[in-house]
Amino acid sequence: MSDLLTVSGLSVFYGASAQAVEEVSFSVPRGSVVALLGANGAGKTSIMKAVSGLIPARGEVTFDGAPLGALPARERVKRGVVYVPEGREIVGQMTVRENLTLGGYHLPKRERKTRAEMVLDLFPEIANKADRHAWRLSGGEQQMLAIGRGLMAGPRLLLLDEPSLGLAPMLVRRVFDRLGAIRRESDLAIVLVEQNLAMTMRICDELHFLRGGQIVGHRSAEELRDPAARAEAVDAYLGAAAA
Ligand SMILES: Nc1ncnc2c1ncn2[C@@H]1O[C@H](COP(=O)(O)OP(=O)(O)O)[C@@H](O)[C@H]1O
Ligand SMILES: [Mg+2]
């Protein structure tokens, strides 16, 4: 079976000389979770934005067998490529339910409603706050809302940018457990960008390590279950600061 997403020779430039991503290639098998790990500035967000069509890039991105070319972001969303940005970017002055509605704006009303119920079932923490303003949610709840809004769009590939950023470890665990549940119930594929290796390993199948805009290493989650192999990979690719 072919991969759902193939990224080939992807390069991102900011201005004429600043290259943030250099010839990055990876693929995402259907239904799998592929993680991109790397320190701040490694190019993770740039890759996600390029795949979702939010910034221009060189190279080729193929989704479900079709090259995405220069397709604008909204068209990619319609095909099922959905980006959940770092920093959440939910609308504080709107209610939880209104934020969810935004995520499914391109869907017929009936489907939007069904999906909103599905999302609220998945995240009971925000379900009983559905009519509150989003700014009143805790950090973990805001992250659940951001992921929920992504799920509203009917994704086939969810691009999750540092969902653990700024969350207490207990909340991170809750968010990741929920992602695991979503994964088990659907054939949704995920590209997960993280700095946190231990948490990432709970749900991912494969990991790519990034540094200075390049992929410098690749491991399966299976390989990294061995503590010695994990220590070796952290040492080789992430450095002491990320351990
Ligand atoms: N809008 C921008 N303009 C100029 N440089 C940028 C911009 N966004 C990111 N960069 C630079 O590109 C590199 C990669 O950034 P980014 O993709 O955000 O990395 P990460 O998500 O891994 O922290 C960094 O050196 C960063 O400073
Ligand atoms: Mg980033």
Higher per-residue pLDDT: 2 or 33: 33
Which residues place a Cβ less than 5 A from the ion ligand 2? 44-45, 86
Domain carrying residue 110 = 87-147
> Which tens digit of pLDDT belongs to each residue from 18-51?
999 999 999 999 999 999 999 999 999 999 999 9
Residue at token pair 């989704």: 63
65 and 185, same domain (yes or no) = yes
Query: Span 128-137, mean pLDDT?
Result: 93
- Please enumerate in sequence order all residues whose Cβ is within 8 A of that of 61, keeping only pairs 6 or more positions apart, or say none: 5, 6, 7, 8, 10, 50, 51, 67, 68
Residue 231: count of CB within 10 angstroms of its CB = 12
Which pTM value belongs to this model?
0.92
* CB of 56 shorter than 6 A to ligand 1: no
Residues 76 and 112 in one domain: no
% of the chain at pLDDT higher than 90: 65
Total number of residues shown for the chain: 243
Is the predicted pLDDT of residue 242 greater than 50, yes or no?
no
Would you say residue 160 has pLDDT above 70?
yes
The fraction of the chain above a pLDDT of 70, given in percent, is: 98
| Cβ of 40 less than 6 Å from ligand 1 | yes
Among 95, 116, 147, give the residue marking a domain's end: 147
Residues 162 and 237 in one domain: yes
How far apart (Å, rounded) are the C-alpha atoms in residues 227 and 15? 42
Does residue 69 sit in the same domain as residue 166?
A: yes
**40 and 109 in one domain?**
no
Question: 65 and 118 share a domain?
Answer: no
- Do residue 135 and residue 160 come from a single domain? no
Of 147, 176, 198, the residue that ends a domain is 147
For ligand 1, whether the C-beta of 44 sits within 6 Å is yes
Average pLDDT of the chain, as a whole number: 91
Q: Do 56 and 94 share a domain, yes or no?
A: no
Last residue of a domain, one of 147, 170, 187: 147
Residue 240 has pLDDT above 60, yes or no: no
Would you say the CB of residue 45 lies under 6 angstroms from ligand 1? yes
Say what the pLDDT of residue 243 is.
41
The ligand 1 atom at the shortest distance from the C-alpha of residue 86 is 21
**Are residues 121 and 46 located together in one domain of the fold?**
no
Is it the case that residue 232 has pLDDT exceeding 80? yes
Same-domain check for residues 231 and 185: yes
Residues 127 and 95 in one domain: yes
pLDDT in tens, 96-125: 999 999 999 888 999 999 999 989 988 888
Residues 115 and 20 in one domain: no
Find the CATH number of the domain harbouring 238.
3.40.50.300
What is the model's pLDDT at position 65?
95
**15-45 burial code (b ≥16 CB/10 A, e <16):** eeeebbbeebebebeeebbbbbbbbeebbbb
Total domain count, the chain: 2
